[in-house]
Amino acid sequence: MPLKNKHGRHGAIALLEFSNVAAGVLASDHMVKRSPIALLRCGSIHPGRYLVLVGGSVASTEEAYAAGVRVGEAGNTLYSSIFLGDVHPYLHDAVLGIRQELVGDALAVVETHCSPVLLAAVDAAVKSTPVMLSEVRLGDDLGGHALALMCGYLHDAEAALEICADRAGEHLLARTLLPRLDPDLRGLLDKTTHFEHSAAHEPIGAEFPEEVACSWDE
């Protein structure tokens, strides 16, 4: 299935998670000064940690990644990190907020305790199975956790979950497999997994309570 992103993609990306904001900002500065990489996204996440996402050529990204790791290790503030020298296009687009339509009958949902671990797990899953990566969320509004939605045929979604669980190890928080995703739920998840941004949906045939006279209506 063709992806929505028509812009160029970076050959490599790196994600570093720091235990506090101050360390993350310092590392970001060192990284962008070290090599000509793109600072794709950076900022604070719950519960007070800091994420830095960079991209570029393999050599430049790896050099910037090493600079960020040095800052984190020097101050004992590096919570987790991952360098992906050959990032899958699905994952590249998803971490930049580009959503893909849910396709296939089955939905696989994986959640990890930290964001770099999720990227490593999902990158391996989409490279090994023909699932579509619909959404990736990193830290924000998740208490610092990370979340991914993958969809496709049942056996592919199941295999993708197994790969994610194996790669995430002790950092795996949860995983679920929906063999036959409800069409109405599919429509909601296609738009967002945020409760705040989810629109009210009343499917055909939904029951409604009978009107009951209340004392304040009198």
* pLDDT tens sequence across 92-145: 999 998 999 999 999 999 999 999 999 999 999 999 999 999 999 998 888 999
> What fold characterizes domain 12-84?
Alpha-Beta Plaits (3.30.70)
Instruction: Assess whether pLDDT exceeds 90 at residue 203.
Output: no
Q: What is the CATH number of domain 89-189?
A: 3.30.70.1710
**% of the chain surpassing 70 pLDDT:** 89
Q: List the beta bridge partners of residue 23.
A: none
40-42-45 Cα angle (round to 5): 140
How far are the Cα atoms of 52, 62, 134, 194 from residue 32, in angstroms, in the given order? 11, 12, 30, 32
Residue 146: predicted pLDDT: 97
3-state secondary structure the chain: CCCCCCCCCCCEEEEEEECCHHHHHHHHHHHHHHCCCEEEEEEEECCCEEEEEEEECHHHHHHHHHHHHHHHHHCCCEEEEEEECCCCHHHHHHHCCCCCCCCCCEEEEEEECCHHHHHHHHHHHHHHCCCEEEEEEECCCCCCCEEEEEEECHHHHHHHHHHHHHHHHHHEEEEEEECCCCHHHHHHHCCCCCCCCCCCCCCCCCCCCCCCCCHHHC
**Of 118, 120, 178, the residue nearest 148 (C-alpha):** 118
What is the pLDDT confidence band of residue 6, given thresholds at 50, 70 and 90? very low
What interhelical angle do 154-168 and 115-128 show, nearest 10?
140
Q: Is the dihedral of CA 171, 193, 46, 13 positive or negative?
A: positive
* pLDDT tens sequence across 12-53: 999 999 999 999 999 999 999 999 999 999 999 999 999 999
Place of tokens 């687009």: 93
β-strands 12-18, 78-84 pairing: antiparallel
Residue 208: predicted pLDDT: 63
Q: List the beta bridge partners of residue 110.
A: 148, 175
Domain residue extents for the chain: 12-84, 89-189
Taking phi over 0 as left and psi of -120 to 50 as alpha, with beta for the rest, 44 belongs to beta
